[in-house]
């Protein structure tokens, strides 16, 4: 083998001397510039967030400290300018929770089953159409979703508007959010796990239920809670389908029901009145707190079910 | 327990692409058969048709027959899920279920198929882990997650999981290619022990490994890229490595190819 390879005939060209000490000045400057730009962008993105928190907490947090705020509704409230009590937002908090929960109960099964279909079963044209529909649904303005439910519920079926109608409209907004996030989580499950399960003689549906879903559980929960947060702060469908009322209503299927966003909207009409102002900022603060609590809860659930190491 | 496999005129397709052509061979019960050949020649594809895993891939289909003790695996009445309970498989990369403990991983095949009895499950877990030479290393941490083991241990865990459902045949798709030499040795010794109870088919890129572990060796090749792969010959491992019938086999084994 040694004789086959001919030695190179040309003499080796002199190599340039390479300096190993220190990075070149130009590259160092570019690095510094990029670092500064990245940090500046980060701080700029932080400005609105901090500002919002500052404003809302500064104006509304003291309202949350009163027990009445959590215990009472707005019954007995006098017209703006005459009332001297802030009173409570229990009716709105209960309304928001009930309507958002019903929305979740309607939307999550549909969304998760759609995501399972798209990732595990969907092939060809039908899957493309379904995926496209989900995209369209996520682009629908919330007020249009509310109008659609109004048209179907009242015009077509001739029924009376109830708070659950708002949940139906909100479900239309929640389905695409949860479908997309669940889809991404299911795609992250390695195919090898599915194959390992099939190779043990486990049917496909059982593989999905017992292997794929548990593996992606925490991600799916996170997606559901993001959807819940989005829905809890949604306003337009409530304005159309769940008229504001100052009284507590715990029945989703009759009467009208208040919610935190509609409470804010209602009191905003007289925001220059200090009492109404406190109600607006207090409700805003409560809404942010609610979303925060939901998110923390989600993280906790996600961590408990986390892939063990 | 162990069954023989007869493959007759098997063509394997991915959609319209014919990946493997005209395979006819038999695999003896209670023996180790190795599949060797260059990358892309279809040895893994053939392996995956033996437990109907090939059709899991979209567009995957076969023509021809695979007989497991005279029962055609591709007969229209046969349930692929039942086939996979009879013919187990170990994959190239260790793939324990990440949400499950060591114990649950081994018991997964039984549990997911409806066995609930804790005593039976415990027995099967211990027997399978002993069978996979892993019991002594993990017996004190059966409830710890399977993903926390080393790569070699994970692969033996996967073997334990596969043999826990008592298959007739065990297919192994390059089970050592992601492992270090010491773990490889452990798996090879295990393969040797497994053939007392199972029919083992192993795909390997490592010819020394084929020579060490197998009783019979099948050599696959392909004429050119884009052409279907085919079975060149199958014979006793001794014969294949010392005196093969086809010169292409000798060229491949001795490193003179291409």
Residue B47 and residue B23 in contact, taking contact as beta carbons nearer than 8 Å: no
d(C-alpha A217, C-alpha A205), whole Å: 16
Structure tokens at A109: 């099964």
Asked if the structure places residue A103 within a domain, the reply is yes
Structure tokens at B206: 């490592």
CA distance B88 to chain A (A): 6
Q: Which of A190, A195, A202 sits opposite B113 (nearest CB)?
A: A202
C-alpha distance across the termini of chain B, in Å: 42
Domains assigned to chain B:
5-97+169-254 (3.40.50.300)
Residue A123 has pLDDT above 90, yes or no: no
d(C-alpha B240, C-alpha B244), whole Å: 4
* Interchain proximity B84–A199, CB inside 8 Å: yes
Sign (positive/negative) of CA torsion B114, B116, B122, B124?
negative
Strands B60-68 and B71-72: antiparallel
d(C-alpha A234, C-alpha A228), whole Å: 10
Predicted ipTM? 0.89
Residue B220 has pLDDT above 50, yes or no: yes
Chain A residues whose beta carbon lies within 8 Å of the beta carbon of residue B98: 193, 215, 307-308
What percentage of chain B has pLDDT greater than the value 70? 99
Residue A227 and residue A178 in contact, taking contact as beta carbons nearer than 8 Å: yes
Confidence of residue A139 (pLDDT cuts 50, 70, 90): very high
Asked if the structure places residue A73 within a domain, the reply is no
Q: Is A303 in CB contact (< 8 Å) with chain B?
A: no
> Chain B residue with minimal CA distance to A213?
B99
pLDDT tens per residue, range B34-89: 999 988 888 999 999 999 999 988 889 999 999 999 889 999 999 999 999 999 99
CA distance A200 to chain B (A): 5
The DSSP secondary-structure symbol of B28 reads: -
* Interchain proximity A200–B84, CB inside 8 Å: yes
Asked if the structure places residue A52 within a domain, the reply is no
Q: Is A9 in CB contact (< 8 Å) with chain B?
A: no
Average pLDDT, chain A: 89
Residue B166 and residue B85 in contact, taking contact as beta carbons nearer than 8 Å: no
- Domain of A166 in residue numbering reads as 90-304
Residue A24 has pLDDT above 70, yes or no: no
- Give the CATH number for residue A133: 1.10.3720.10
Lowest mean pLDDT among A80-84, B4-8, B49-53, B133-137: A80-84
Virtual torsion, Cα A151, A157, A163, A167, nearest 10 deg: -70
* Interchain proximity A199–B58, CB inside 8 Å: no
* Interchain proximity B99–A198, CB inside 8 Å: no
CB contacts < 8 A, A to B, total 82
Q: What is the largest CA-CA distance in chain B?
A: 56
Residue A77 and residue A246 in contact, taking contact as beta carbons nearer than 8 Å: yes
pLDDT tens per residue, range A6-23: 555 666 677 777 767 666
Residue B232 and residue B254 in contact, taking contact as beta carbons nearer than 8 Å: no
Structure tokens at A234: 């949604």
- The pLDDT value recorded for residue B223 is 81
d(C-alpha A227, C-alpha B252), whole Å: 58
Residue B169 and residue B194 in contact, taking contact as beta carbons nearer than 8 Å: no
d(C-alpha B76, C-alpha B98), whole Å: 35
Residue B177 and residue B205 in contact, taking contact as beta carbons nearer than 8 Å: yes
Mean pLDDT of B196-201: 92
Virtual torsion, Cα A199, A204, A209, A215, nearest 10 deg: 50
* Interchain proximity B86–A201, CB inside 8 Å: yes
Mean pLDDT of A237-258: 91
DSSP-based helix, strand, coil % in chain B, nearest 5: 40, 25, 35
- The pLDDT value recorded for residue A173 is 94
Residue B130 has pLDDT above 80, yes or no: yes
Mean pLDDT of B8-25: 92
Mean pLDDT of A201-213: 94
- The pLDDT value recorded for residue B131 is 87
CA distances from A90 to A241, A291, B248, B255 (A): 20, 16, 83, 81
Residue B50 and residue B66 in contact, taking contact as beta carbons nearer than 8 Å: yes
Mean pLDDT of A250-274: 92
What domain count does chain A have? 1
DSSP secondary structure letters along chain A: -TTTSPPP-SPPPPPPP---SS--HHHHHHHHHHHHHHHHHHHHHHHHHHHHHHHHHHHHHHHHTSHHHHH--STTPPPTTT-------HHHHHHHHHHHHHHHHHHHHHHHHHHHIIIII--HHHHHHHHHHHHHHHHS-HHHHHHHHHIIIIIIT-PPP-HHHHHHHHHHHHHHHHHHHHHHHHHHS-HHHHHHHHHTT--HHHHIIIIIHHHTHHHHHHHHHHHHHHHHT--HHHHHHS---SS----TTSS----HHHHHHHHHTTTTSHHHHHHHHHHHHHHHHHHHHHHHHHHHHHHHTSPP-
Other residues' Cβ atoms within 10 Å of the Cβ of residue A292 = 11
Asked if the structure places residue A44 within a domain, the reply is no
Asked if the structure places residue A228 within a domain, the reply is yes
- The pLDDT value recorded for residue A6 is 55
- Interface probe for A, chosen from B52, B83, B95 (most Cβ of A below 10 Å), is B95
Asked if the structure places residue A77 within a domain, the reply is no
CA distance A212 to chain B (A): 10
- The pLDDT value recorded for residue B133 is 87
Report angle CA A277, A85, A257 to the nearest 5 degrees.
75
Residue A188 has pLDDT above 90, yes or no: yes
CA B74 from centre of chain: 19
Sheet holding B71-72, edge to edge: B71-72, B60-68, B5-14, B17-27, B229-236, B216-222, B32-36, B199-203, B169-173, B87-90
Residue B126 has pLDDT above 80, yes or no: yes
pLDDT tens per residue, range A288-304: 999 999 988 888 887 77
Confidence of residue A1 (pLDDT cuts 50, 70, 90): very low
Residue A309 has pLDDT above 50, yes or no: no
Other residues' Cβ atoms within 10 Å of the Cβ of residue A97 = 15
Q: Which of A201, A210, A309 sits opposite B81 (nearest CB)?
A: A201
CA distances from B214 to A309, B158, B177, B238, B254 (A): 36, 20, 16, 9, 18
Asked if the structure places residue A232 within a domain, the reply is yes
Mean pLDDT of A114-122: 94
Crossing angle of the two packed helices A274-304 and A260-268, in degrees rounded to 10: 160
The backbone region for B86, taken as left when phi is positive above 0, alpha when psi lies in -120 to 50, beta otherwise, is alpha
Chain B residues whose beta carbon lies within 8 Å of the beta carbon of residue A192: 91, 93, 95
Instruction: Write the burial class of residue A180 (CB in 10 Å: 0-12 exposed, 13-18 middle, 19+ buried).
Output: buried
Asked if the structure places residue A5 within a domain, the reply is no
* Interchain proximity B112–A214, CB inside 8 Å: no
Residue B103 has pLDDT above 80, yes or no: yes
């Amino acid at each position: 083998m040694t004789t086959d390879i001919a030695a190179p005939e040309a003499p080796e060209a002199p190599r340039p001397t390479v300096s190993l000490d220190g990075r070149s000045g130009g590259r160092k400057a570019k690095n510094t510039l990029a670092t500064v730009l990245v940090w500046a962008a980060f701080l700029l993105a932080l400005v609105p967030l901090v500002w919002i928190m500052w404003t809302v907490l500064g104006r509304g947090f003291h309202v949350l400290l009163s027990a009445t705020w959590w215990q009472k509704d707005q019954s007995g409230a006098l017209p703006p300018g005459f009332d001297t009590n802030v009173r409570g937002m229990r009716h709105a908090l209960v309304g928001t929770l009930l309507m958002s929960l019903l929305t979740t109960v309607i939307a999550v099964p549909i969304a998760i089953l759609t995501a399972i279909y798209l990732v595990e079963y969907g092939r060809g044209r039908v899957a493309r159409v379904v995926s496209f529909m989900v995209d369209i649904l996520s682009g629908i303005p919330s007020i249009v979703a509310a109008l659609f439910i109004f048209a179907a519920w009242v015009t077509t079926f001739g029924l009376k508007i109830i708070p659950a109608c708002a949940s139906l409209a909100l479900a239309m907004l929640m389905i695409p959010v949860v479908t997309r996030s669940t889809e991404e989580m299911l795609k992250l499950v390695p195919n090898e796990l599915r194959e390992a399960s099939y190779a043990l003689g486990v049917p496909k549906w059982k593989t999905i239920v017992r292997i794929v879903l548990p593996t992606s559980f925490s991600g799916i929960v996170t997606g559901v809670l993001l959807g819940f947060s989005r829905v809890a702060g949604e306003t337009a469908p409530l304005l159309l389908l769940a008229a504001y009322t100052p009284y507590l209503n715990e029945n989703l299927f009759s009467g009208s029901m208040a919610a935190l966003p509609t409470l804010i909207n209602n009191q905003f009409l007289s925001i220059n009145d200090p009492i109404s102002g406190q109600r607006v900022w207090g409700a805003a603060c409560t809404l942010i707190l609610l979303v925060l609590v939901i998110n923390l809860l989600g993280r906790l659930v996600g961590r408990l079910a986390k892939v063990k190491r | 327990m162990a069954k023989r496999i007869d493959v007759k005129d098997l063509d394997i397709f991915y959609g319209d692409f014919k990946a493997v052509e005209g395979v006819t061979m038999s695999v003896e019960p209670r023996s180790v058969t190795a599949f060797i050949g260059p990358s892309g020649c279809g040895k893994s594809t053939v392996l995956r048709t033996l437990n109907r895993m090939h059709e899991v891939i979209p567009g995957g289909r076969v023509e021809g027959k695979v007989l497991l003790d005279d029962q055609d695996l591709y007969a229209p009445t046969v349930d692929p899920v039942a086939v996979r309970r009879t013919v187990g498989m170990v994959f190239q990369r260790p793939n324990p279920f990440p949400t499950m403990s060591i114990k649950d991983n081994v018991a997964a095949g039984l549990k997911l198929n409806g066995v609930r009895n804790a005593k039976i499950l415990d027995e099967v877990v211990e027997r399978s882990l002993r069978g996979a030479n892993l019991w002594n290393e993990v017996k004190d941490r059966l409830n710890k997650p399977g993903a926390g083991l080393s790569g070699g241990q994970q692969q033996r865990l996967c073997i334990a999981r596969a043999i826990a459902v008592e298959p007739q045949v065990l297919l192994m798709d390059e089970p050592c290619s992601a492992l270090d030499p010491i773990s490889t040795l452990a798996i090879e010794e295990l393969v040797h022990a497994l053939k007392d109870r199972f029919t083992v088919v192993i795909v390997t890129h490592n010819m020394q490994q084929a020579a060490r572990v197998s009783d019979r060796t099948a050599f696959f090749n392909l004429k050119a890229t884009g052409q279907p792969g085919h079975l060149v010959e199958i014979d006793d491992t001794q014969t294949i490595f010392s005196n093969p019938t086809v010169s292409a086999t000798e060229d491949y084994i001795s490193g003179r190819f291409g």
